[in-house]
């Protein structure tokens, strides 16, 4: 009888953490990333659920320390979000335009 491969939780947690950090880093400049992140987590939840129930074999070597380390990293993601948000939104060229100098874009 064939048994599927082992589900490696550490790799999945690393993927989740990288998705969170990328979203938090660049979402101040691209707010659409919040929706992309929600869609990514929703799809990966259902795929992981189906694969864990149907394909992967049962493993019993996981402890609470894997998820505790993930939760300990989340405040760092908030700090990165704040720093990059300040960097992106405090740019002096954010809302300025030197192309249209006159009224209605004409030369003055």
Residue 27 has what pLDDT? 92
- Long-range contacts, stretch 8-16, CB < 8 angstroms, 24+ apart: 9/62, 9/66, 10/66, 12/48, 13/66, 13/67, 13/70, 15/44, 16/41, 16/44, 16/70
pTM strictly above 0.95: no
Over residues 70-104, the pLDDT tens digits come to 899 999 999 999 999 998 888 777 766 666 656 66
| CA 79 and chain centroid, separation | 14
What confidence tier does 20 reach under pLDDT thresholds 50, 70, 90?
A: very high
What are the pLDDT digits (tens) for 23-62?
Answer: 999 998 899 999 999 999 999 999 999 988 888 887 767 7
Q: Please tell me the total number of residues recorded for the chain in this structure.
A: 108
Q: Are 13 and 70 in contact (CB under 8 A)?
A: yes
């Amino acid at each position: 009888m064939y048994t599927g491969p082992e589900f490696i939780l550490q790799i999945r947690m690393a993927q989740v953490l990288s998705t969170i950090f990328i979203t938090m880093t660049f979402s101040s400049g691209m707010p659409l990333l919040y929706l992309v992140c929600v869609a990514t987590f929703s799809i990966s939840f259902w795929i992981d659920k189906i694969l864990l129930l149907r394909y992967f074999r049962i493993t019993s070597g996981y402890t609470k320390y894997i998820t505790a380390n993930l939760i300990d990293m989340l405040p760092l993601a908030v700090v990165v979000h704040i720093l990059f948000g300040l960097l992106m939104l405090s740019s002096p060229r954010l809302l300025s335009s030197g192309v249209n100098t006159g009224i209605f874009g004409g030369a003055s």
